[in-house]
Homo-oligomer: A and B are copies of this chain.
Amino acid sequence: MTTYGEQKLQEEKVFKDPVHSYVHVRDQVIWDLISTREFQRLRRIRQLGTTFLVFHGAEHTRFNHSLGVYELMRRIVDDRFSGRDEWDASERLVVLCAALLHDLGHGPFSHAFENVFELNHEEYTRHILLGDTEVNAVLRKVSEDFPQKVSQVIEKKYANPLVVSLISSQIDADRMDYLQRDAYYTGVSYGNFDLERILRVLRPSKEQAVIKYSGVHAVEDYIMSRYQMYLQVYFHPVSRSAEAILNQILQRAKRLYKEGYAFELMPKPFIPFFEKKIEIADYIALDESILLTYFQLWMHEEDDVLRDLCTRFVNRRLFQYSDLNVEVEKERYVRLQQLFQDAGIDPAYYLLSDCSSDDFYRTTAKQEPIMILMPDGQLKELTEVSLIVDAVAGKIETDHKIYYPLEEIEAITNTGLRDEILTLLERA
């Protein structure tokens, strides 16, 4: 008799997907997982957070991306690995489920949200997989320990390192999907690399998925794509400016709550987060439409800071920015803070700093290297065979910025004060 884990749909179902053409589903388990409310919730979480305020096409969601990672994994496993000695066919379902569900725990505007409320989306992915959820119910129908297994793959604790590598390595299904997907929806061309070629040269091996030597140039191209996407899209300063404001909104709301501020409408969905007593149900209940709704309500709050920041975020009146490394130019920064204070602009909310930083490729304890399968069967680390990756490996591109409301500074009536600020911001 067919077990639930082996059950196939009577007819294959497909989702039209602009990136992979179609997402194909034949397994009953996968179909059932997609229909759970926890998975459907990912439709209300954008893949790229605040990036839509810079690249207006970037409205795509984590639902979108999760299906894409699943589809890539399905192609890797069914079209590429299936039938090879190094691949254990019994791992198929767990890796497909892990691919589909790996982002389940992401909250609304993940980075800012996790930052302010000291959360970790990976932990919440585990909670959703193992807790009292529809997803857990589906997974348990496969076997009692199946939810745990899926969770282990996502947390990189699964026994079979090859399976883990498929979902979290420097060239995994997750990254390959998001680079292409984010490029597609933003409209930038940088995320394009030869995905077909990489799939063709991917091979299972004992410790991890490896790349046949003939595919090294495709991998080089992928690494350069990744780098460009980070610089051009993920670290775009305007998007970081929006995120900095978002951060301050959540911080301010939390502080006001703690101080007993009387919100016009009590922000019920936020209270568990303000108080750090979060049930799974609270977590799942939150999404970006709810945040945007509250931000719009708060545009009418009495508190000046909350009101102003929300108005800025909703109507896209973002902060301008200048280059400034607050570690290196501490004095300049402290002086700016003082001058903002003097001008009546609270630097805690209106002089923000951040730093983005990315390296091209690394081989550290944490990051498994990309291994190349040589014609003679040996494995070599990528930098040994790629002149170009070797040249850039370990190089770090760092960008330090400060953000501030330029139009308010320009409106300062004390011209001496104003000009000193503008000069320090290199705006003079």
Q: Which residues of A contact B (CB under 8 A)?
A: 14-19, 21-22, 35, 37, 40, 43-44, 52, 55-57, 59-61, 63-64, 67, 184-190, 192-194, 196, 200, 217, 220-221, 224, 227-228, 231-232, 285, 287-290, 292-293, 296, 314-317, 360, 387-388, 391-392, 395, 397
A35 touches which of B17, B40, B194, B316 (Cβ 8 Å): B316
Q: How far is the CA of A296 from the CA of B37 in the complex (A)?
A: 12
- Give the shortest distance, in Å, between A72 (CB) and chain B (any CB): 16
Q: A55: which B residues are within 8 A, CB to CB?
A: 16
Sample of 25 A–B contacts (CB below 8 Å): A15-B56, A16-B57, A16-B187, A18-B184, A21-B196, A22-B200, A37-B314, A40-B314, A40-B315, A43-B52, A43-B56, A44-B292, A56-B63, A57-B60, A59-B60, A59-B64, A188-B194, A189-B194, A217-B232, A288-B289, A289-B290, A289-B292, A290-B293, A387-B392, A388-B392
Q: How far is the CA of A67 from the CA of B52 in the complex (A)?
A: 14
Q: A35: which B residues are within 8 A, CB to CB?
A: 316-317
Are A40 and B360 interface neighbours, CB within 8 A? no
Q: Other than the known A189-B194, A289-B290, what 16 A-B pairs have Cβ atoms closer than 8 Å?
A: A16-B186, A16-B187, A16-B188, A18-B57, A18-B184, A18-B185, A18-B187, A37-B315, A59-B59, A59-B60, A190-B194, A190-B217, A190-B221, A220-B224, A224-B224, A289-B289
- Give the shortest distance, in Å, between A106 (CB) and chain B (any CB): 16
- Nearest B residue (CB) for A315: B37
- Nearest B residue (CB) for A16: B187
Q: A194: which B residues are within 8 A, CB to CB?
A: 188-190
- Give the shortest distance, in Å, between A200 (CB) and chain B (any CB): 8
Q: A60: which B residues are within 8 A, CB to CB?
A: 57, 59
**The 3 nearest A-B residue pairs measured at CB:** A18-B187, A289-B289, A289-B292
Are B289 and A17 interface neighbours, CB within 8 A? no
Are A227 and B388 interface neighbours, CB within 8 A? yes
Are B285 and A290 interface neighbours, CB within 8 A? no
- Nearest B residue (CB) for A12: B200
Q: A14: which B residues are within 8 A, CB to CB?
A: 200
Are B64 and A57 interface neighbours, CB within 8 A? yes
Q: A61: which B residues are within 8 A, CB to CB?
A: 56, 59
Q: A388: which B residues are within 8 A, CB to CB?
A: 224, 227, 360, 392, 395
Q: A217-B232, A290-B293 are in contact. Are A18 and B190 (CB under 8 A)?
A: no
Q: How far is the CA of A168 from the CA of B89 in the complex (A)?
A: 40
Q: A231: which B residues are within 8 A, CB to CB?
A: 217
